[in-house]
Amino acid sequence: MKQFDHLMLFFLLHTCCSTLLTLAQAPAAAPVVAPKAAPVLAPASSPAPPGPTNVTKILEKAGQFSTFIRLMKATQVANQLLGQLNNTNNGITIFAPTDSAFSSLKSGTLNSLSDEQKVELIQFHIIPTYLSSAQFQTISNPLRTQAGDSGDGKFPLNVTSTGDTVNITSGLTNTSVSGTVYTDGQLAVYQIDRVLQPLQIFDPRPPAPAPAPAKSKKKKDDDVADSPADDSTDNSKAVRFTMGNNVGLFGVTAIVLIALISL
């Protein structure tokens, strides 16, 4: 009986040792890793709105328009265009002379102009409507510029198109469009190689003489009353009256003399 107990104890010890040895040799279980959360994507940013249309920046980027830009800033026309293009739906067309176009002017031309004339000169290169190159073929002349009156002798500007050539005349300047600087459906900027000289500034016409004032009827009546003919008539009457008085006086004197002699 004791031998049986020893065998059972031995069997139990052997089983426990085998189990512990098996557990020690088994690979450790991989740690449980929590699944990664999906990255949160930021919403796509909308494109930045376009900046205001700036004519001077467009011309600066194109190059060779520094004199025109300087005059636009000095006369405040640049600020006016900035407001027109960004606060209204009005289109603008600009004929921009190059620096060489200004250099070809007679020396001292710009310095001889008053501030008002410089404003008019720059405005004469601006049409207050958008004109595409195709519209030059059907345009009505003369064009009205921002300088004002397009009548003969003032600020007339005529544009004609022959094939691919666009000709411009101011009455003193003849030139043509030599290229497109910028166009977006609201603003069009075209390069020209001569400065457009308006008649009003560079060849002003003398004002028409004022008509002579018409004489009133009363004035005419007064002139007739005081005419020399009336004076001669009155003078002749006075002479006859004086002669008659002299004859009467002479007669009275003769009678008195005769009476005295008789005594």
Per residue in 4-13, pLDDT (tens digit) is 555 566 666 6
Is pLDDT above 80 for 26?
no
Banded model confidence at residue 136, pLDDT cuts 50, 70, 90: very high
Per residue in 200-259, pLDDT (tens digit) is 888 876 665 666 666 655 555 555 455 554 444 455 544 454 445 554 554 545 554 555
When comparing pLDDT for 19 and 68, which is higher? 68
Which string of DSSP letters, residue by residue, matches the chain? -HHHHHHHHHHHHHHHHHHHHHHHHSPPPPPPPPPPPPPPPPPPPPPPPPPPP-HHHHHHHH-S-HHHHHHHHHTTHHHHHHHHHHHS---EEEEEE-HHHHHTSPTTTTTTS-HHHHHHHHHTTEESS---GGGGGSPPSSBPBTTB--STTSS-BEEEEETTEEEEE-SS-EEEEEEEEEESSSEEEEEESS----HHHHSPPPPPPPPPPPPPHHHHHHHHHT-HHHHHHHHHHHHHHHHHHHHHHHHHHHHHHHHHHH-
**Cα 52 from Cα 84, distance rounded (Å):** 11
pLDDT recorded at residue 211: 66
Contact 201, 157 (CB under 8 A): no
**Cα 129 from Cα 144, distance rounded (Å):** 10
Banded model confidence at residue 56, pLDDT cuts 50, 70, 90: very high
Interval 130-158 mean pLDDT: 87
pLDDT recorded at residue 247: 46
Interval 102-129 mean pLDDT: 95
**pTM higher than 0.75:** no
Q: Which domains does the chain have, with CATH numbers?
A: 55-202 (2.30.180.10)
pLDDT recorded at residue 220: 53
Contact 164, 155 (CB under 8 A): no
When comparing pLDDT for 188 and 87, which is higher? 188
Per residue in 89-104, pLDDT (tens digit) is 889 999 999 999 999 9
